[in-house]
Structure 1
Amino acid sequence: MKHATHAQHILYLAVIPWYRQECVNVLAGRMGDSLRVFASEYGLDPTVRTGIDSGNYTLVSRRGILADRILFQAIPLEVFRTKGSVVVDLNPRSFSAWAVLLYRRFTGKRILVWGHLHPRRGAGTKTAAVRRAMRRIASGAILYGYDSVTAARSELPNQPVWVAANAIYKRTAMHSTGLNQTRNTMIYVGRLEMSKNVDQLILGYRDSELWRVNVRLGIVGEGSLRKQVQEQAEEFGLSDSVDFYGQVNDEAELAKIYGQAIFSLSPGYVGLSATQSLGFGVPMVYARDAPHAPEVELRRLGFMQEYEPTTADGLAAAMKVAYAKYISIPESTTDRIAVTTASFYSAEIMSDGIISGLLNNAVEYGTDGWPIGKNQE
């Protein structure tokens, strides 16, 4: 896609992280030179960087304004000129997205916004109102989750919407990976930051006493709290029962880790880790009252157990309940979890939503926002 010279359609985005690679691969295979992709090294968060193959996109320079509160990216002329569709981020803090949005609207060219319908703090915030303003200018919106469709229709009844469900893997990679293995681990996969409440993991594990029956705790990820969490494990004498894997992006390595897991944990907000866990057939335990990303809608499919309060004590109790509930489920069930998840959240499904939006092909969603004709159970 990078070397197309007369692209009809354009994705002009702030950042495309590594976990978009499979979706980008599908887009490239289906659209070829009719699609061109532009992105910067990173957007406003320097910890989230573009990580797809360099041949899949064209790098554009970026600059943070007002201490990185506002993003400005270089805008290639074809983003303004193309007669096809252009997609920009649904991000009020991107000056460049606004510039492209306004220019193409007032010159009668098709322009779509793509992103989360609302910020994690909810629909009543000031930035949510600004997002709605961006959508009013746009020709349509591509959203990350099905549950967002109903709210989007309520806010702007006449605007078309599409869903590009926030997926990581292709359908063929989404299956249970624990066949012929003994599952003896509960795992956390994600950034080790305070917003994820990872400081509760060791305390919850200690108080659950599941280490007494040889259930291990696996922690996959990096972040500013890694040292603190490791010190907690040492302080409570649990170092021999806790595995720190560091950052793992390799699909095969993650499949092995999930193949040992009875269930996964999300003591903070739920995001892509839900897609990943259920995609490998592993149930998830999550805090009910955290400010979740749209992926929490996967609870509709079952095998996501919520708990409250969002404390170490609440997590410990949830661990014990989940262990009793999930330790004996057959591998046929875990494979069904993965297959059902793949029917809504795969790289192919994600790319379908993007392509339908680009080509202005209508997609039927039910009154609940989910695709008509697909079983959610």
Structure 2
Amino acid sequence: MVSENLNIFIKYNEENKDFPNVHTMAEHIKVTLEKGEFCWGHFTKTKFSRNKTGLWKMRTSILDEQFEKKIITFVFFYSRNSKELYVGKLEGYYDREYPDINPDIKELIPKYYHSRIGKIKKGIEGQMRSYAFVRVSNLKKIDFNDTQYIYNYKGTVDTIGEEKVLECKGMASLLYVNLDENFYNDIKKKVMNVNNLQNDLNNLESSEDKDNQFNIGSLNTGELIPESMKIKRNAAKGNNLDKKSTKRNYDEENKKNGKLGEAGELLVINAEKKRLLKKGRKDLIKDIVHVSKDIGDKAGYDILSFDVDDKGNKIEKYIEVKTTEYGINTPFMIEESEVNFSRINSDKYYLYRVYNYNKKTGDADSYIVKGNIDKKLELSNKTYIAYFKNEN
């Protein structure tokens, strides 16, 4: 027998092109382990003609009634690509603006998509943004085959139990569902007795293709622009730039993958922590921010670190990291926005070029470019390939 009580079924992608270095469920589990619950933002493509906000009121009126009667309502999370199924207890739901003005709720949302919540602003049409949020506790992984006990709710009592949720046609990624009563009671026992969530996180993080793992070792930090460096000035500049050749010969493919870039950033973060320890400023380590991961890749730099002046005052360091498995002479891609940021913040800007990265050991070498990139590198096109300028 199928229950008339309503629940929520969310389809999601474990990896998303908008956030290439992020695993969706793993990030929400991390919040759960820290806070005891999490808030999940459901996305839609931004259009002012479709200014969606919040869950469908015809369905939330039923959810509200269930809350009043103290009927436990569940949220299911179905991973399209990995065929995994999670379930948790629904604690609340909110429209697109609510978390932005309620810090306690915003803290339950993984930081990597904080920039995609709140009111729609001009200039971001087409961007995927969260239009509704569900707050969930007692998250637990369950058997994927349990989807056979979950039914799409079509809106009328006489159709309940007609269509299994994965047989539902259409593009909807958030569905309202009914559950087999025996399954509902079984899930209620499991969800209210949550355990092994840390194991679920470990399994998620270790399930990535081993060939795509980039280890983190030690970084040999070199001097500011090595004096001994020899740079070949060749035809890969200016209007003669062969874009296909550039992607094939340099590190653009690794940039798209994202994992190599993140490995380089983690190496630099570790090096910055060691530097601050040597300076006797352990207190500043906690303030280091992995900007590209926690905030996004549009800030103009990857890491916010710190230094101290002669009087011991705290000074910000904006660090951009460019990583390659190849040698010291390998050119690299750099965006116009990053170059502009270095011009505006030249006194605080540092470009760490990480090279000779060894995927097995995680070790690499590096050198540093401080200040305005435009004055120290040979740049061509709006997405630049960078060479050192020949001073002779």
Q: TM-score, normalised by structure 2?
A: 0.25
Bigger radius of gyration, 1 or 2? 2
Q: TM-score, normalised by structure 1?
A: 0.25
